[in-house]
Structure 1
């Protein structure tokens, strides 16, 4: 029996795959464009939403980067993250590990400090206001070169005590993980956690590369891992967390229908799958919307939903005591509902 929507909303959970720039709702995009006197290629909120019809990842990225151009000053980044955390708290998120793409901004002449300080301020406010803890993950844009990634890692140096890890996002096809092996090794030497998008549009080989060459601590997406039984066994035996994004998969045509989504197949094969919203302003929903949509499509019950939430905490970069505290709260909630 599929769980009730309110069970999902109040289910304690962590979100581990959220691009903060991808939480830029059209209304905020217009407000920031007006505040900063930035021209955008849309004349209304409705026109933006109409443009959200993607056939592939690159179609989405073209609009994503255009929208990000309205983010100019520290307050913009604060407002962006602040809006996300309000929605996350309403969705039962107790902890979030958010991605940001500094190159998207520094390449426009926005100083790294402006981006980082705005986000970190909002993260601090979210813990005070909503009780939502968070960690920040710096993502390298894989369509840019290794030198650009190294320059970004160097620029981040003053903030590394407040950055939990590095990631790899943007256009996957044609940009294999091996391209960034050296910068990921450097990040690891600095004590940073490592995650990477792989196996969304790219082949299972990209997941192998992320594991063996990037030495990742967590796998973002990973859907196409299911095409390789040996890879599935490795992921299951190692306890690797997969940050799965159902509505994103649907919007970007990774699956043709959520009734065909492999989330429960991942669980059945022993994979530590989680549910996340990816770029919720663009893909039609925040994390609870993703839980509800895939639960309805695949007939997930309370046991599966509780396992997904459990995986989100165990797969986080919180310390063991913090994880344990969240799991106690989760177990109590499930037992009472």
Structure 2
């Protein structure tokens, strides 16, 4: 096991399901709260960590949005993003596609430009200084209306050079992908890539809607797709990527034990699964911790770990030239490891 865990440490990989607001570690939360004179309902870092115990997605989201209150200035978003990118690079992530939730900030009176400019500047600096490439995906909050999503989309078009795609996150139950068909149709027409959270807590029907109505390029999570045999066959046939987040699933009680996680069934069914950390500050694990946890829980082999890394590059939205270079780095590592 130790040998395979060392193999994971050196394995070049991409991360495709990561909410930048979900990388807000308790110590940074307190530092930003002090910098911005925000009063937190916690007396210490330890008290915040003790609150990171969830029984469902909504309990997590309540704390997630509360933590985001400390993010106010462009420098805050820059510092948050740089901290994540340094941590990801330490896990040998050489490409990442970052989600951000501008509506969680604009509703608080934070200017859209403040959010996107801080994140994008950090991404540019990290590519220069750390050698990690990245793309930015704007996620609409599905518990809000499509009208609000359309307003956000209109503003986002002013920054289209910074944004590669649009996604859908937040509370899944009761907010099907069909609710946002119009805004995603517009985004598709404008040439953006499309992703959506589906099948985490929502039913397989939500995955079908994401495919048929939103015309997604990737499914985020997708666990419950395995409840429908026809859907499994379709996902395999279309080589539709799934951005799987095991430690997130465990923390939110989507699975009770990692030994029961559907990743094994996904791989056996020939699905293009990838491993990601989702909201690592809240769920106790960045990318390598997710790889190691699943290797231990499912007894993943070296070849299966390599396949997950290869899938992460294959499912990414980078150019074919950049993808070929990343695949070559992976192949070089596998030849020597």
Calculate the TM-score normalised by the size of structure 1: 0.99
- Paired residue for 1:143? 143
1:1-337 correspondence runs (5 A): 4-337=4-337
Which segment is superposed worse, 10-19 or 154-163? Answer: 154-163
- Residues 2 and 301 in structure 1, CA contact (< 8 A), matched pair in contact too: no
- Residues 2 and 296 in structure 1, CA contact (< 8 A), matched pair in contact too: no
C-alpha distance in 2 between matches for 1:178 and 1:105 = 25
Calculate the TM-score normalised by the size of structure 2: 0.99
Q: Cα RMSD over matched residues?
A: 0.8
Q: Residue by residue, what CA displacement relative to the aligned partner does 1:77-123 show, whole Å, maximum 9, x if unpaired? A: 00000000000000010000000000000000000000000000000
Q: Residue by residue, what CA displacement relative to the aligned partner does 1:22-71 show, whole Å, maximum 9, x if unpaired? A: 00000000000000000111110000000001000000000000000000
- Residues 13 and 310 in structure 1, CA contact (< 8 A), matched pair in contact too: yes
Unaligned 5+ runs, structure 2? none
Unaligned 5+ runs, structure 1? none
C-alpha distance in 1 between matches for 2:107 and 2:58 = 19
C-alpha distance in 1 between matches for 2:129 and 2:321 = 22
Offset of 1:3 from its aligned partner?
5.1
C-alpha distance in 2 between matches for 1:143 and 1:228 = 26
Offset of 1:4 from its aligned partner?
2.1
Q: Residue by residue, what CA displacement relative to the aligned partner does 1:200-248 show, whole Å, maximum 9, x if unpaired? A: 0000000000000000000000000000010001000001000000000
Q: Residue by residue, what CA displacement relative to the aligned partner does 1:241-272 show, whole Å, maximum 9, x if unpaired? A: 00000000000011100111111210110100
C-alpha distance in 2 between matches for 1:257 and 1:302 = 22
- Residues 2 and 302 in structure 1, CA contact (< 8 A), matched pair in contact too: no
- Residues 96 and 133 in structure 1, CA contact (< 8 A), matched pair in contact too: yes
